[in-house]
Amino acid sequence: MNTNLSSFFIFIAVLGLLGVCHGQLRMYFYEESCPHAEEIVKEIIWNRVASNSTLPAKFLRMHFHDCFVRGCDGSVLIDSTPNNLAEKAAVPNLSLAGFDIIDEVKTELEKTCPGVVSCADIVALAARDSVSFQFQRPIWDVLTGRRDGIISRKSEALANIPSPFFNFTSLKQSFANKSLTVYDLVVLSGAHTIGVGHCNFFSNRLYNFTGKNDENDEDPSLNPTYAAFLKTKCKSLSNNVTIVPMDPGSPLSFDNNYFNILKQHEGLFQSDAALLTNGEATYNVNELLNSQNFFTEFAQSIMRMGAIQVLTGSSGEIRKKCSVVNH
């Protein structure tokens, strides 16, 4: 293992020993009420990731989309009903996946400790454990003690999840609304080192960028060689089926390569390119070209994200089934 990662893991171990807590979340929340909870989550998630290397990106995205709407309360898991279109029905969430595995984890936990472990905590743990499978050890601490929300609205997902078309001002505001800084924005954008993007979320950068109806109207901030490659995959503005990796060099490896490609103007979305339009954000991007900086800072930023507007104590509920509220 390289020395950067070794010292990073020592840093994480120290955090654990310090018993870090954000608000009312804490390490080992289930130590007495369900001692094997985290082990059960890890075992199922690692088994699934072993046979499907695309899952880490999916669970990381699910965690992000959950936390940005009503806080990290598992509301992204709730199914729509005849009377309510839930978050799942919103455009940004239509391509989310992995709900079946969250259900599998919940079923196992309900057998072991009925009514104890929240769906919100399962999502946070699944994100960490799926990404950590690559390293065979946890690469950030997950504080637990979240409770589940009982409200899930399509309109709130649309209003709160940052868009891939956002410019820097909109991105900064979106993160500030959740008490996250520009540094958190840049660090968490590094999650785009794994996963894919659908053509329709970036093909405006390839064709008709300024609305002149000129098929050669490209986003000038996009590396022309990369743009030419993307055009071979996304042949029209209307293609909403084709997917391309966000980090073509190592799409399944959680690393800091996102920041290298960003500097080469090969960020896939407008929201990626936007990070280089602001001095502070660009400075942060340059800092994260150092692998150890990225791992250390990602651990901190995702813990901050995981604490957004959490329900604890007697707020919310512990859902018996993650896709349905109890009452």
Residue 75 labeled ligand binder: yes
Residue 148 labeled ligand binder: no
Residue 193 labeled ligand binder: yes
Report how far apart, in Å, the C-alpha atoms of 53 and of each of 59, 128, 133 are.
11, 14, 10
CA dist 229 and 155 (Å) reads: 35
Nearest CA among 282, 312, 324, 327 for reference residue 77: 324
Residue 87 labeled ligand binder: yes
Residue 66 labeled ligand binder: yes
DSSP assignment, residue 198? E
Q: Where in 262-319 does DSSP place strands (E)?
A: none
> Distance between alpha carbon 263 and the CA centroid of its chain, in Å?
22
Residues 6 or more apart whose Cβ sits within 8 Å of residue 272: 189, 192, 246, 262
Residue 265 labeled ligand binder: no
Residue 54 labeled ligand binder: no
Residue 255 labeled ligand binder: yes
Q: What is the DSSP string of 212-229?
A: S--TT---TTS-HHHHHH
CA dist 102 and 71 (Å) reads: 18
Residues 6 or more apart whose Cβ sits within 8 Å of residue 5: 135, 291, 292, 295
Residue 69 labeled ligand binder: yes
CA dist 242 and 235 (Å) reads: 10
Residue 22 labeled ligand binder: no
> Which residues are known catalytic residues?
65
DSSP assignment, residue 147? B
Residue 247 labeled ligand binder: yes
Q: Which residue has the tokens 């978050």?
A: 87
Q: How many residues does the chain have?
A: 327
Which residues belong to the annotated binding site for Ca(2+)?
66, 69, 71, 73, 75, 87, 193, 247, 255
Which residues belong to the annotated binding site for heme b?
192
Which residues belong to the annotated binding site?
66, 69, 71, 73, 75, 87, 162, 192-193, 247, 255
Which residues belong to the annotated binding site for substrate?
162
